[in-house]
Structures are given as C-alpha cells and as structure tokens.
C-alpha cells in the first residue's frame, strides 16, 4: 500500500498541490490507515517533503503554526481566529506537508522525459 503513496505524491507534485494533510493522501490512496500513511509521510521529511504543525483551538480553528509540537507553550492564550481563551496542547495539532522544491523539479523533469520503450 505504501508504494502507491509514492505514485500519488508524484501526481500531486505535478498538480502543484500545497499544504496537504495525511487525510488527503489517505483519501487519494483509498485507505483509512491514517497512522501508517502519516508515519510514511514523516519518513519522507527532508527527502521529498517539509512538515508543519498547526495548533488547534477548542473551537476547531487553526490558531498558529509551530515547527514542532514540543514548541507549544503551556500558557493561556486567545485564538487568533475566534478569540477563544485556551491552553494549547501538543495533542491538538494539525499536521501538514509541502513538497521540497528539489522534489517538485525532479518530478516535473521526469514527467517531461519520454518513456523508453524496450522492444
């Protein structure tokens, strides 16, 4: 199943997809195995992907971004979207990905080259 993810990522790179979630990749792959897909995507960070984390407020809004869940401060704050006061939690984050520019370039060049046909 994880091999199909590589194909899907190539398609998405050609389509110029940005800021995608593991849920989106699962949907395109036709799987509900979110844990395995997320782990696989995280393994591609620095190779094909960049990762980012957004802190979710109690109302479900994406309040702010951090580079790592460990950066979340355990202090009261007001959500930048809905102004709800809350204490951010590392358990309430959205994870997202973007392609690294080198991967996009590689995939687009690969698509432009005609396939070799062996006779």
Place of tokens 């790179």: 13
Tens-digit pLDDT string for the chain (119 aa): 678 999 999 999 999 999 999 999 999 999 999 999 999 999 999 999 999 999 999 999 999 999 899 999 889 999 999 999 999 999 899 999 999 999 999 999 887 866 655 65
- From the centroid of its chain, how far is CA 106? 19
Model pTM above 0.75: yes
Bridge partners of residue 77, in order along the sequence: 86
DSSP assignment of 49-98 equals: EEEEEEEEPTTS-EEEEESSGGG---S-EE-TTT--EE---TTSEEEEEE
């Amino acid at each position: 199943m994880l091999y199909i993810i590589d194909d899907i990522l190539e398609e998405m790179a050609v389509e110029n997809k940005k800021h995608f979630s593991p849920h989106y990749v699962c949907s395109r792959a036709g799987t509900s195995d979110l844990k395995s897909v997320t782990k696989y995507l995280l393994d591609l960070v620095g190779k094909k992907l960049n990762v980012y984390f957004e802190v979710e407020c109690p109302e479900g809004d994406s309040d702010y971004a951090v580079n790592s869940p460990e950066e979340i401060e355990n202090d009261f704050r007001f959500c930048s979207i809905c102004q709800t006061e809350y204490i951010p939690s590392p358990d309430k984050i959205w994870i997202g990905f973007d392609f690294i520019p080198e991967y996009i370039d590689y995939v687009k060049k690969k698509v432009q080259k005609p396939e070799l046909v062996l006779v």
